[in-house]
Amino acid sequence: MKIIELLIEHNTYSLNRPFSYLYKGDKPVDRGYRVLVTFNTQELVGYVLNVKETNKSIKELEEEYGFTMSEILDVIDSSPLLSEDLMNLADRVSEYYLASKISVLQSMLPPSLSPRRSSLKAPKIAYDLYAEINKYDESDLTFKQIELLRLIKDEGRVLKKEIKQVSILNKLIEKDLVKITKTEKRRLEIPEYDNSKDITLTPDQEAVIKEFKESNDSIYLLEGVTGSGKSEVYLSLSEEYLSQGKSVLVLVPEISLTPMMMRNYISRFHDKVAILHSELTPAEKYDEYRKIASGDCRIVVGARSAIFAPLSNIGLIILDEEHVESYKQDVPPFYHAREVAIMRGEMHHAKVLLGSATPSLETRARAGKNVYHLLRLDKRINNQPLPKTTIVNLSDYHNIDKESYIFSFKMRDAIKKTLENHNQVILLINRRGFASSVTCRSCGYIFKCPTCNIPLTYHRSDLMLKCHHCNYVEPSIDNCPMCGSKYLMRSGFGTERIEEEIHRLYPEARTLRLDSDSAKIRTKIPTIVESFRKREADVLIGTQMIAKGHDFPDVTLVGIVMADIGLSLPSYRSAERVFQLITQAVGRSGRSDKKGEAIIQAYNPSHYAITMAARQDYELFYRKEMEMRKAQSFPPYTFLASVTVSGKNEESVIQYTYVLIDKLNEELKEDAVILGPTTPFIPYENNNHLRSVLIKYKNQELIRNVLERLIKANSSKGSISISVNIDPYNF
């Protein structure tokens, strides 16, 4: 008999401990297996942490443990799901982010292998069945049977489902002339790309690669201006590590960037590459995960969760565009892929390379203190100059007229000239939809999300009102639900409105739109990007999805329609976000041998984030923003933890938040600054009222211990729940 210690699939901190079960069956079971158990009258999946043999009777064990012991119902797996190094990584992530271990394990594994009940119905291995010759003998066969036998012999093997004469095939199988074999099917179709392009490294790229290879440091920041050739550095270093028998893990922040990075790697390394990101189907994720785990490929390209890919013998981990916030998961467990990459690099003795034209302040500060090794690419490929950039003040009525309140004179003229010269235009506005809010002019009613209590965005493409936070939708109506008035006002604008304006002003222009609406069908992102690259459109309109990583040689104009949208968001990172977005967007222009231009429209044109981004002056922005962060005691000068209290009753939430603040002040005293309670930007979510507390601190170990005690103490309070976000990006 065996004693099985396991984690229950429920993702709550109160259950974040091993539970003991008995197993008398014959199936093998070990650490890393999933098992089916009864827990509190429910049939659930458990994840095995430890297995111990015992000679004691059940009665003796129950006396020793002090509770009635149940048997597991079944063993689900035939081998461990995670290697020992990934199990250890789960421990480190769980400990650092104060997350339940089962939530980390569920993030690490694809749906088909996840330790949760739903995985039992998720896709499994799919096979293709082939007819092959077992022995060749035409005697005593009909003409039809001979015809099919010869076809199979000539082809080597034939897919069974392609053979229409099923009865004839069955006769050949009965005669032992043909056998059926099965081959595992790969449900993700990875295209082949042309590798004919001959790449010659620039002296700057060669110098950076040489410095990287000769250094014994573990973590590197490659700071390179837009268009300086960071991607080729990644590819060359990957080739070097593959030649040493090592594996390479490449992360990109946005799914929209994955096709381009995928193209680069597949064209260079072909079938050695696997792809992992959230837009794959569960079946495709399962196939790719197993392909990686089996050792069939040695390079993984993917988004945030690919940091948990089951690669062995990792030599190099690359995070492209390391500054992008999508590397930070915004639901539990709140891990950041950069920090997990560093943890994993330490465990594999691998080098970690962080790349960006606009590094996050935390990363750049660590490089400034030589915690990370700083590498630079200061010039564009072929010494092409950065785009000529103009800032237009939208507050000055001389810059706009009744012809278009969206585009200034300068922007309209530049678009017209670019189209006349048969070049391409990118237009960026970091807001999707047609109008950002709908209000009744008669009574002032605002159409709001019933779940989040924030204004709904009007989308003309499908005549719906949508919440951009929780994805709630409702049909757009013509009358106010409060007073019945038909006088509804649609305020603000997004990508749909920009597209309509381009069609009105430039009817001959062909447009494409890339945002999370147009890309809801997962194949649309690479299709749209490739279509624009092939010049099947003149203007690409989009959100931040179009601002990073893309290389369109015929784009000579980038227009940022409203550059200061992000400055109004209540976050200490707002200036950094705006600077990074503008810098990255401007960098899409003039990347080949054509001169580039960028026009930045803003109502606050003198803000330092906008003026310095226009000049592409990262160093000046870094110094200015670091002064601001130091004065306000924000990262990188302190660490942050955000505690969110939620519950159905708003008064109870507020009361408990004050109790929590008193406890934190009592335990932390002079070791931290406690701010709050505050009402979050999204104050109401999933029918729960929210309040937040922000903690600024320098002693990570002390804070972690205090917060862990508070989480455990709260786990028995059913009406109130708290969640802790270590290193939050939004609060």
One-letter amino acid at 550 equals H
Instruction: Give helix 166-174 / helix 143-155 axis angle, nearest 10°.
Output: 80
Residue 194 has pLDDT above 70, yes or no: no
What's the burial of 486, exposed, middle or buried (CB within 10 Å: 0-12/13-18/19+)?
exposed
- The mean pLDDT value for 513-533 works out to 81
How many percent of the chain have pLDDT more than 90? Answer: 69
CA 378, 379, 380, 385 dihedral sign is positive
Give the model's pLDDT for residue 658: 94
- Fold matches, 203-382 and 384-434+493-628: yes
Nearest CA-CA partner of 335 in 668, 724, 706: 724
pLDDT tier for residue 196 given thresholds of 50, 70 and 90: low
Give the model's pLDDT for residue 571: 87
**CATH of span 203-382:** 3.40.50.300
DSSP per-residue string spanning 83-107: -HHHHHHHHHHHHHHT--HHHHHHH
Nearest CA-CA partner of 270 in 298, 237, 304, 233: 298
Token output for 589: 């222009």
Nearest CA-CA partner of 285 in 441, 144, 170, 123: 123
Give the model's pLDDT for residue 540: 97
Query: Rounded distance, CA 570 to CA 454, Å?
Result: 15
Query: Rounded distance, CA 339 to CA 96, Å?
Result: 10
Give the model's pLDDT for residue 522: 62
Consecutive H or E run containing 279? none
Q: What is the mean pLDDT of the chain?
A: 91
Query: Rounded distance, CA 662 to CA 170, Å?
Result: 78
What's the burial of 656, exposed, middle or buried (CB within 10 Å: 0-12/13-18/19+)?
buried
Query: Residues 417, 420, 423, 425: what is their CA dihedral angle, to the nearest 10 degrees?
Result: 50
Peptide bond into 310 cis (omega under 30): no
- pLDDT by residue (tens digit) across 583-605? 999 999 988 888 999 999 999 99
Residue 126 has pLDDT above 90, yes or no: no
**CATH of span 639-726:** 3.30.70.600
Query: Rounded distance, CA 77 to CA 208, Å?
Result: 46
Which residue shows structure tokens 């089951």?
Answer: 310
- pLDDT by residue (tens digit) across 309-364? 999 999 999 999 999 999 999 889 999 999 999 999 999 999 999 999 999 999 99
Give the model's pLDDT for residue 709: 87
Residue 303 has pLDDT above 60, yes or no: yes
Give the model's pLDDT for residue 313: 95
pLDDT tier for residue 260 given thresholds of 50, 70 and 90: confident
Residue 521 has pLDDT above 70, yes or no: no
Residue 161 has pLDDT above 60, yes or no: yes
- pLDDT by residue (tens digit) across 622-632? 999 999 999 99
Consecutive H or E run containing 704? helix 700-714
Checking 456-461 for CB contacts under 8 A at 24+ apart, the result is: 457/432, 457/433, 457/494, 458/433, 458/434, 458/490, 459/432, 459/433, 459/434, 459/496, 459/517, 460/434, 460/496, 460/497, 460/500, 461/434, 461/496, 461/517
Residue 716 has pLDDT above 80, yes or no: no
- Give the strand pairing for 597-602 and 388-393: parallel
| CATH classification number, 2-85+101-121, choose in 3.40.630, 3.40.1440, 1.25.10, 3.30.420 | 3.40.1440
Cβ neighbours around 461 below 10 Å, total? 13
Query: Rounded distance, CA 175 to CA 159, Å?
Result: 19
Token output for 167: 């009865």
CATH T-level fold of 384-434+493-628: Rossmann fold (3.40.50)
Query: Rounded distance, CA 177 to CA 581, Å?
Result: 65
Give the model's pLDDT for residue 480: 95
What's the burial of 507, exposed, middle or buried (CB within 10 Å: 0-12/13-18/19+)?
exposed
Give the model's pLDDT for residue 197: 65
- pLDDT by residue (tens digit) across 83-104? 999 999 999 999 999 999 999 9
One-letter amino acid at 266 equals I
Residue 255 has pLDDT above 80, yes or no: no
pLDDT tier for residue 127 given thresholds of 50, 70 and 90: confident
Residue 31 has pLDDT above 90, yes or no: yes
Give the model's pLDDT for residue 715: 67
Give the model's pLDDT for residue 56: 86
Query: Rounded distance, CA 639 to CA 697, Å?
Result: 5
Query: Rounded distance, CA 725 to CA 718, Å?
Result: 20
- pLDDT by residue (tens digit) across 451-498? 888 899 999 888 999 998 888 999 999 999 999 999 999 988 999 999
Residue 73 has pLDDT above 70, yes or no: yes
Give me the sheet containing 74-75, strands edge to edge. 19-23, 2-8, 42-53, 34-39, 74-75
Break the chain into its structural domains and give their ranges: 2-85+101-121, 127-184, 203-382, 384-434+493-628, 639-726
Give the model's pLDDT for residue 362: 96
Query: Rounded distance, CA 36 to CA 241, Å?
Result: 41
- pLDDT by residue (tens digit) across 400-443? 988 998 999 999 999 999 999 999 999 999 898 999 999 999 99
- C-alpha distance from residue 207 to each of 265, 367, 386, 431, 450 (Å): 22, 18, 22, 40, 56
Query: Rounded distance, CA 440 to CA 479, Å?
Result: 9
Consecutive H or E run containing 645? strand 639-647
How many percent of the chain have pLDDT more than 70? Answer: 97
Would you give the DSSP letter of residue 515? S
Query: Rounded distance, CA 455 to CA 145, Å?
Result: 70
Query: Rounded distance, CA 500 to CA 458, Å?
Result: 14
Give the model's pLDDT for residue 719: 83
- The mean pLDDT value for 717-721 works out to 79
